[in-house]
Chain A
Amino acid sequence: MKWLNILRDRLRALRQRDDVIDDIDREMRSHLELQVEANIKSGMSPGEAREKAMRSFGNVSRAVDAAYDVKGGGLFETLAQDIRYGARVLLKHKAFTAVAVITLALGIGANTAIFSVVNELLLRPLPYRDADRIVMLWEVSPEGRHQNTTSRANFRAWREQSTSYQYMAAFSDQRFTLTGDGEPEEVSGQLALPEIFKVLGVDPILGRTLLPEDAEPGKPPVVVLSYGLWQRRFGGQSGVIGKPILLNGVNRTIVGVMPPNFQFHIKQRSGTGRPAELWTTLPMPAGTIESDRGRFLSVAARLKDGVTPEHAAAELRTIQARLSDEAPQFNKNFSGEILPLREQFFGNVRRPLWLMLGAVGFVLLIACANVANLLLSLATSREKEIALRAALGARRSRIVRQLLTESLLLALLGSVLGLGFAWLGIKALMLIAPRDLLGLQSVGLNFSVLLWTLGVSVLTGIIFGLAPALHISRLNLNDSLKEGGKAESGQASGSRRLRSVLVVSEIALAVVLLASAGLLIKSFIRLQQVDRGFDTQNVISMVVRLPFARYREDAQLVAFFNQAMERLQRLPGVRSAGMVNFLPLYGGLGSSTAFKIMGRPEPPPGQEPGTDVRVVDAGYFQTMGIPLLRGRNFSDVELREAKRVILINEALARKYFPNEEPIGQRLDVAMFETPVITEIVGVVGNVRYDSLIDEAPPAVYFPHPELAYPFMTFVLRTDGDPAAIAPAVQREIRALDPNQPISDVRTMEQVMSEAVSRSRFNTLLLALFAGLATLLSAVGIFGVMNYSVALRTREIGLRLAIGAQPRQVLLLVLRQGLLLTVIGLVLGLGASLALTRLLSGLLFGVTAVDASTFATISLLLVLVSLLACYLPARRAMRIDPMLALRYE
């Protein structure tokens, strides 16, 4: 009730300042009139009566002011006073203010930077209409591989048998060669059903999107452009609708342009690995279950209102079970799964991001503890001033408010500078962020980020300000006034205890961060040391993709690639050259192809052994440094004609021919429409194709004439800097076909670097935060020890005077600092044991409780804190006993 009254009055005072003053004024006048009347009654003349009344009333305006103050109007006036006074205090203690503001700015800046990423990726709505209703539908393979594409036949079944969706659309990414005006260029496109735009709920800015009748036979092929492609190739002209565009040598009519920010790139199973820049109709010819069995479709759908993803997933699994029964030869044991779009995009970064936010939270807490410590020492030196204010009648709440205003002022200054740091931090984050962190380009300081920063700074201001403020307001006036806050009074020792607690907590927090960073660093090193199976030094790669319109026959493809290889191998500076359809660690089908071993009993459907399939030439192995372990490489003839020979890797040999000679065995690898039997002629070393983390799966290598691909990745090992050879390669390819671009030029070092980029990103960030935390806690220890030495000057002087050796004094101080460190260390290690478990998904080759990591960081921390204690200790050692005793 009381609070309600006060609040009501304050709010009223705020809104109607004049009304409140009028009311008070009216009351004062009424009071005066009553006094005048009483005076007249007692026999005075009216003039005399008024004069007397006025005199007894004193200063009316001051009474009104005092009354107004109580009524709550004073709140804002005292706030202004507090701010003015606080600003003066901060200006007076410049060094203190600078250190505190920078410390806070580091903490707040790091927080803001990470939060802006979290906000962008995990909190902000995705740029589609009602994006939380959009889901992806995938198959789960019998081996338990997730997010697998589905077949035309199965997609039709899903669409017909499900009831959970408003719209459902299949799509598949594909690269197109764009020729015509300007340089030939490779662009990424999406073959999609027209419903995809209804699923996503995005309208074109020009023309229309795809229509079902576009797919009808005999209709001219159409295409929808992305905003970027429209700007780049057509200068953003609105007259582009209805114009033709030459894609893969075929003219298509442009029917629409999508808005600037629109993209829909599902990295998993994308055939291009790049966001689509154009959309064209996915052909869905009426076919048989046999002809429609190929799994290459990704599927997106919009849930009906009220349908949960869980319900949809259950329905999908039911349909999959039915399909498994109907066509076991294709669908046996294939299950299904549903991923909400946000989960699809950012599911794998969610955990690391929240961890990073937690880590910067720790850094901020340490910064708070440090500033609280600084404020405590400032408050101690201000004891006399504050005691005086209390003695003059300032209430405790008033003093606490004053001190809190100061700390909030500090926090706000810190957050302004912190926003600057955050801005730089975000720029830096973008530089080191993995390329596949989609959407990171738009990270910036937007409104919700600013709101977060403001919230964080107010909260920090209260956290680090409250303890010192409450502490100082409990001062014993008498002692402080008498002693001027110099000697070690009861308060000072209380403050020392509080400071020690703060420092111990800082150290404990820093230990947790150091332990986490240590584990990540060790994982990162282990990841680099993994035997990946190939040599990256001086190797460059590039993709050449031949358009179907000009290269319809397999023989044309084989001839082109062989000619290209011959030219490249002759280039000066090229030591060897080769080619492969999909590079290691850089996309690929990623699927497992079934095979049969001739002469062994046929396994039941769904249980055939699986293998990775790559298409190569003979030079590939030498160029990549993959050793030939047994047998022979492909011969020249085998690279010109299909001779039905293959190479296998060691993993396949070990797994399927453990006690037999693999050379000469014959396999039927299900890459062809009719069974094709091939003979193993050699065994090569394992290569980690999918990821550095996973063991190399069994693999089969086909020479390219047997399984001609319209694109190949060329790899060249050079004498010097591999990047310098790229223009020469482009020249050679142009000489063969002037309309033929090369794309995706990158050195193998770059490919490797990208493969570990996420691990490096996490490691770098956490190491940075841990470093910051350690630095801040070192500053904290230094501050406390320095203060402690200052307080004990007399005592230390006395010790020295009665014969203590300087070395003993040094040890005395170091011991005290070390004690704080060790307590913090033990607490921190305990917390780490519990918390590093959260890292388990990010670790590689090291457990979450790695003893050697914990030992290393403990040692590091002790060394740092000894260093931080050394300066105060040296100061203590050099105290002049005579001066110290005369002190005060």
Chain B
Amino acid sequence: MMPTDSRYRHFYVARLKEAVVPKDKADLLQGTLDMLILKSLSLGELHGYGIIQRIRQLSDEMLNVEQGSLYPALYRIEQKGWVSARWDVHETGREAKFYKLTRSGRKQLETQEASWDRLVLAITKIRQATT
């Protein structure tokens, strides 16, 4: 797989995260995106388009996830068993594939949120110390 631009952007975050949780670096972007997807699904069943919309709404239009990133992440999450998918008819009468958080997905979301909070706290502390 060729590296995408967003991966370079997140490479620095990766270095940061390494300081806190030394883990596989390249997985960080996915981890973050996974968390956002899980979060958006925690409020109810959604299709892919709806997930993007919800992330945009919740972030006050600051985060815009591209389809090209969303679907691979979504399928990966589905494989891990954190979400389940089914085809259904949308309220507009069109068919769409709906995703729903599973029990293990909910647990995963909690873990990810907790470690994210720790990371943010750590970064904040460092920033305050240097200013």
Let me know if B124 is at the binding interface, CB within 8 A: no
Choose one: A2, A69, A393; the contact of B26 (CB below 8 Å): A393
Beta-carbon contact of B68 and A31 below 8 Å: no
Docked CA distance A27–B72 (Å): 12
Q: Name the segment of A33-41, A603-611, A758-766 touching the other chain.
A: A33-41
Chain A positions 43 through 57: 1 when the CB is less than 8 Å from some CB of chain B, otherwise 0: 000000000000011
Residues in A with CB closer than 8 Å to B90 are 30, 34
Beta-carbon contact of B26 and A395 below 8 Å: yes
Beta-carbon contact of B1 and A69 below 8 Å: yes
Beta-carbon contact of A70 and B24 below 8 Å: no
Docked CA distance A72–B78 (Å): 12
Q: CB within 8 Å of A: which of B18-35? A: 24, 26-27
Beta-carbon contact of B24 and A395 below 8 Å: yes
Residues in A with CB closer than 8 Å to B76 are 70
Let me know if A666 is at the binding interface, CB within 8 A: no
Beta-carbon contact of B26 and A9 below 8 Å: no
Let me know if B95 is at the binding interface, CB within 8 A: yes
Beta-carbon contact of B75 and A67 below 8 Å: yes
Choose one: A34, A58, A70, A396; the contact of B94 (CB below 8 Å): A34
Docked CA distance A357–B17 (Å): 52
Q: CB within 8 Å of A: which of B39-69? A: 47-50, 53, 66-68
Docked CA distance A396–B26 (Å): 9
Choose one: A5, A27, A66; the contact of B48 (CB below 8 Å): A27
Let me know if A87 is at the binding interface, CB within 8 A: no
Let me know if A475 is at the binding interface, CB within 8 A: no
Docked CA distance A38–B49 (Å): 10
Beta-carbon contact of A392 and B3 below 8 Å: yes
- B91 → chain A, closest Cβ, in Å? 11
Beta-carbon contact of A59 and B97 below 8 Å: no
Let me know if A62 is at the binding interface, CB within 8 A: yes
- A213 → chain B, closest Cβ, in Å? 76
Beta-carbon contact of B1 and A9 below 8 Å: no
Residues in A with CB closer than 8 Å to B78 are 5
Size class of the A contact interface (CB-based, 8 Å):
20 to 34
A34-B49, A396-B24 known; A62+B68 contact, CB < 8 A: yes
A30-B94, A71-B75 known; A2+B67 contact, CB < 8 A: no
- B100 → chain A, closest Cβ, in Å? 15
A58-B66, A393-B3 known; A70+B81 contact, CB < 8 A: no
Docked CA distance A69–B79 (Å): 12
Let me know if A394 is at the binding interface, CB within 8 A: yes
Let me know if B96 is at the binding interface, CB within 8 A: yes
- Max chain A Cβ within 10 angstroms of own Cβ: one of B47, B50, B79: B79
Let me know if A430 is at the binding interface, CB within 8 A: no
Let me know if B80 is at the binding interface, CB within 8 A: yes
Residues in A with CB closer than 8 Å to B81 are 1-2, 5
Docked CA distance A392–B25 (Å): 11
A24-B71, A30-B97, A67-B75 known; A395+B27 contact, CB < 8 A: yes
A63-B71, A67-B75, A393-B26 known; A31+B94 contact, CB < 8 A: no
Q: CB within 8 Å of A: which of B89-115? A: 90, 92, 94-97, 104
Beta-carbon contact of B49 and A58 below 8 Å: no
Choose one: A6, A38, A59; the contact of B68 (CB below 8 Å): A59
Residues in A with CB closer than 8 Å to B94 are 30, 33-34, 37
Count of chain B residues with Cβ under 8 Å from any Cβ of A?
A: 29
Residues in B with CB closer than 8 Å to A57 are 67
- A4 → chain B, closest Cβ, in Å? 9
Residues in B with CB closer than 8 Å to A395 are 24, 26-27
Docked CA distance A396–B80 (Å): 19
Q: Which residue of B lies closest to A41 (CB)?
A: B92
A34-B90, A37-B92 known; A58+B26 contact, CB < 8 A: no
Residues in B with CB closer than 8 Å to A70 are 72, 75-76, 79
Docked CA distance A69–B24 (Å): 20
Q: CB within 8 Å of B: which of A377-426? A: 390, 392-396
Beta-carbon contact of B72 and A69 below 8 Å: yes
Beta-carbon contact of B24 and A31 below 8 Å: no
Let me know if A28 is at the binding interface, CB within 8 A: yes
- A480 → chain B, closest Cβ, in Å? 14
A58-B68, A67-B75, A71-B75 known; A394+B97 contact, CB < 8 A: no
Docked CA distance A606–B67 (Å): 97
Beta-carbon contact of B26 and A394 below 8 Å: yes
Chain A positions 1 through 31: 1 when the CB is less than 8 Å from some CB of chain B, otherwise 0: 1100110010000000000000010111011
Q: Which residue of B lies closest to A478 (CB)?
A: B15
Residues in B with CB closer than 8 Å to A30 are 47, 49, 90, 94-97
- B78 → chain A, closest Cβ, in Å? 8
Q: Which residue of B lies closest to A6 (CB)?
A: B79
Residues in B with CB closer than 8 Å to A2 are 79-81
- Max chain B Cβ within 10 angstroms of own Cβ: one of A26, A34, A57, A69: A34
Q: Which residue of A lies closest to B85 (CB)?
A: A27
Residues in B with CB closer than 8 Å to A62 are 68
Residues in B with CB closer than 8 Å to A56 are 67
- B81 → chain A, closest Cβ, in Å? 5
Chain A positions 420 through 455: 1 when the CB is less than 8 Å from some CB of chain B, otherwise 0: 000000000000000000000000000000000000
A31-B67, A63-B71, A393-B26 known; A5+B79 contact, CB < 8 A: yes
Docked CA distance A2–B79 (Å): 7
Beta-carbon contact of B79 and A27 below 8 Å: no
Beta-carbon contact of A9 and B47 below 8 Å: no
Q: Which residue of A lies closest to B92 (CB)?
A: A37
Residues in A with CB closer than 8 Å to B53 are 38
Docked CA distance A30–B89 (Å): 11
Residues in B with CB closer than 8 Å to A9 are 79
A70-B79, A393-B1 known; A27+B24 contact, CB < 8 A: no
- B39 → chain A, closest Cβ, in Å? 20
Beta-carbon contact of A63 and B75 below 8 Å: no
Q: CB within 8 Å of B: which of A69-85? A: 69-72
Lowest 9 A-B CB distances belong to which pairs? A34-B49, A70-B75, A393-B3, A67-B71, A63-B68, A70-B72, A66-B72, A30-B96, A27-B97
A and B contact pairs by CB, cutoff 8 A, 18 listed: A1-B104, A5-B78, A6-B79, A9-B79, A27-B97, A30-B95, A31-B96, A34-B47, A34-B50, A35-B49, A58-B66, A58-B68, A63-B71, A67-B72, A70-B76, A392-B3, A393-B26, A395-B26
Kindly list 16 other residue pairs between chains A and B, CB separation below 8 angstroms, not including A27-B97, A67-B72, A69-B72. A6-B79, A27-B96, A28-B71, A30-B49, A30-B97, A38-B53, A56-B67, A59-B68, A63-B68, A63-B71, A66-B72, A67-B75, A72-B79, A393-B3, A393-B26, A395-B24
